[in-house]
Structure 1
Amino acid sequence: MSRQKTSVMSVQKTFGEHLKSLREDQGSPLRKIAAELDIDQSTLSKIERGERLANCSQLPKIAEIFNVTEKSLKLILLSDQVASQIMEESNTHEILKVAEEKIKYHRAQK
C-alpha cells in the first residue's frame, strides 16, 4: 500500500520514528536500508532513535525506497527541527505566529 498522504499520526512521530516505522512495515533490515542510503548502519540507527538528524539531501532516496512523497518526509523532518528549537518555551504558539509573519514578509520582499 502506498503512503502518499501524511497522516496526523505520522506527523506526531519524530522523523526517526517515522523512518523506523516505514522500514519495519516494509520488513527491511537496518543494514539493507543503510546500504541503499550509502550510510553506516550505526548512523541510520541513530537517526531512527532521534540521536542524529537526517540530512535533507537524503530525502529523495528515502522517498523512493519507501514509496512516499519527499514533501511528507520534509514536513516531518523540518517540523522536528522547529519543535526542538522552541519546545521548552512557554509561548510556542506566539513564536510560531511571529515566525509565520516573518516568513510572509520576507517572501514578499523577494
Structure 2
Amino acid sequence: MKSVEFGAYIKAQREEKRIPQRIVAHALNVDTSTLSKMELGERQILISQVKPLSEILNIDFKALQIKYISDNIISDFSGQPYLKEALKITEQKI
C-alpha cells in the first residue's frame, strides 16, 4: 500500500514548515533516503508513523489519520465498481 498523495502532502507540510528531512526521519526512526521514498510514494508510510508525523509537523492527529486512511483506500481501491457499497458495509461493521 503506497500512497503518492499522502507522501506528497507530508513533503509539502515539511517543506512549508522548513523542517529538514533528517529531523522528520529521526522522529520516525528511519534514514533520510527512506523518508524521501515515503514522500515520493515509493515506500509505504505505516499507520504507526502517523502520530509522530502529526507531532513533528504540528498537524492535528485526527485530521492526519483521516487523510492517511482515506488516501490509502483510494490508492488501493480506486476504480473498483463496488467501492461505495463496500465502504457502507464497512461503516456498519465498525
What range is the shorter-chain TM-score in? 0.7 to 0.9
Q: Distance in 1 between matches of 2:29 and 2:45?
A: 13
Aligned Cα root-mean-square deviation (Å): 1.9
- Out of 11, 17, 39, the residue aligned to residue 26 of structure 1 is 17
Query: 1:14–1:76: 8 Å Cα contact kept in structure 2?
Result: no
- Structure-to-structure mapping, 1:26-105, within 5 angstroms: 26-103=17-94
TM score, norm. by length of structure 1: 0.69
Task: After superposition, give the CA deviation of every residue in 1:50-101 in whole Å (9 maximum; x if it has no partner).
Answer: 1222122222221111111211111111112222332131232222222222
Q: Which runs of 4+ in 1 moved over 3 A?
A: none
**Partner residue in 2 for 1:15:** 6
Give 5+ residue unaligned stretches, structure 1.
Answer: 1-12, 104-110
